[in-house]
Amino acid sequence: MGIRDLLLEIARTYDASEGTRVEVPGQRVLREVERRTDLPLPTALFAKGYGGQTSAAATPWIGVFDPEINSSAREGLYLAYIFSADLRTVSLTLQQGITHLEHRLGKGQARQDHLRRQAARLRRAVAMQRQNEWVDEPELRHGAARPKAYEAASVIARRYDVADLPQETVLGGDLVYAAEALKHTSVAQRLWWFEDTESSLEVSYPSNEHGVSGNDPLAGFQPKDSSDYIANIAAKQQVKRRLHEALIAEFGHHIAARGFTPTTRLMHPRDLVLRRQDEEPDTEGEWLVEAKVVRDGNPTEAVRHAVGQLFEYSHFLYRERGRPEPHLIGLFTEDVGVYSGYLERRGIASIWQTANGWEGSSCASKWGMVG
């Protein structure tokens, strides 16, 4: 079964009046989406169905996520197939998360206005690649707050009539296009953290928060909590370990003892930036660090993702802004083996954690960060 058959099955079985009980046919189809292996999604993307929790959703939908960009519908960018309330149409949209805005803007017009302003800015990132039949917003045909917010949150959308759904190849091509648009748009969104904006939700900071105070090399180093936490997922508990944050926290203290100032404060989306603790201005510039967890002893994916993000941030956050490009470092939870030489040849040093401390490539050693 492909995407087309899945969409038709949801349109045929979903009934919001039946509630969200496990035995409800439409709800069962949506809940099974994340366990299906027959959906032809672009590489690395995953899908999850949503039909409501305490009450059934007026407009059921399927989220499609790129884990390198976002894995939650609460905030950030993702793709979604959203049905209209009458189930006569379904729209593939590039969506902004809406739930995280409720505590600041409520669920009404203020949230919709904010989402539309942000969507207009993001839309410029994909304007040159806009294909025919793609519009700004879907038409969900329901007056409740959530469907209205979904409409406002749309960056681009492609609407299909359920009675005349395109063939699987067409749907697949549209999804590939949307996935590429998601990647381009996520870059634009991340860059907003470094730009002036008229957005009502842009965060401002006191002036004394922008630099390192006094002589404390760790004054600007505030890694996120690395303690384990409990996540309640589908009526079961899972223990999550923030290995990524722990890696940054432990490395920060190590590198500070080596004469560098690690900074995480106001560095998003960068993981970590390093500068020497010299009294005179450092002519070597700064080091950009991307931290990655090596899973199951296989460094391939971690290295690929680190390379992509380091080059992306170096280009958009430094070169495009007329700033000297930084030295690049991939920071890993364990030895990356032959990839260390691969990274060095591309101008990227590598550092990894060991049972006894830290080791790294020749550049990392030359800079005095390991060894």
Residue 247 and residue 225 share a domain: yes
In a domain, 80, yes or no: yes
Provide block-wise average pLDDT over 10 residues at a time, the chain (371 residues). Answer: 93 95 94 92 93 94 92 91 97 94 89 92 71 89 95 96 95 93 82 44 29 45 45 38 76 91 82 80 76 89 93 90 92 94 96 93 95 85
Residue 173 and residue 230 share a domain: no
Residue 254 and residue 164 share a domain: no
Residue 178 and residue 49 share a domain: yes
Q: Which two tokens stand for residue 357?
A: 């401390």
Q: 132, 165, 194 — which closes off a domain?
A: 194
CA–CA separation, 311 and 190 (whole Å)? 14
Identity of the residue numbered 94: L
Residue 337 and residue 246 share a domain: yes
Residue 219 and residue 170 share a domain: no
CA–CA separation, 81 and 140 (whole Å)? 11
In a domain, 89, yes or no: yes
Residue 253 and residue 353 share a domain: yes
Helix (H/G/I), strand (E/B), else coil: 249 = helix
Residue 169 and residue 229 share a domain: no
| pLDDT recorded at residue 199 | 37
In a domain, 203, yes or no: no
Q: Is 236 exposed, middle or buried (0-12, 13-18, 19+ CB in 10 A)?
A: exposed
Residue 224 and residue 111 share a domain: no
Strand locations in the chain (E):
46-52, 56-65, 77-83, 89-96, 154-161, 229-233, 236-240, 260-263, 272-276, 287-292, 327-332, 348-354, 357-360
The pairing of beta strand 260-263 with beta strand 46-52: unpaired
CATH code of the domain covering residue 41: 3.30.920
Total tally of structural domains belonging to the chain: 2
Q: 169, 194, 219 — which closes off a domain?
A: 194
Whole-angstrom CA distances from 16 to 53, 176, 188, 276 are 11, 30, 36, 60
Q: 194, 224, 254 — which closes off a domain?
A: 194
Dihedral angle computed from the Cα positions of residues 19, 23, 28 and 34, in that order, rounded to the nearest 10 degrees:
110
In a domain, 201, yes or no: no
Q: Is the CB of residue 96 less than 8 Å from the CB of residue 185?
A: no
Which domain range does residue 344 map to? 208-366
| pLDDT recorded at residue 129 | 57
Residue 286 and residue 190 share a domain: no
In a domain, 130, yes or no: yes
Task: Evaluate if pTM is beyond 0.75.
Answer: no
Q: What is the DSSP letter of 108?
A: S
**Continuous segment of H or E residues that includes residue 254:** helix 243-257
Q: Which two tokens stand for residue 165?
A: 């759904």
| pLDDT recorded at residue 237 | 37
Residue 245 and residue 110 share a domain: no
CA angle 303/309/314 to nearest 5° reads 125
Residue 99 and residue 214 share a domain: no
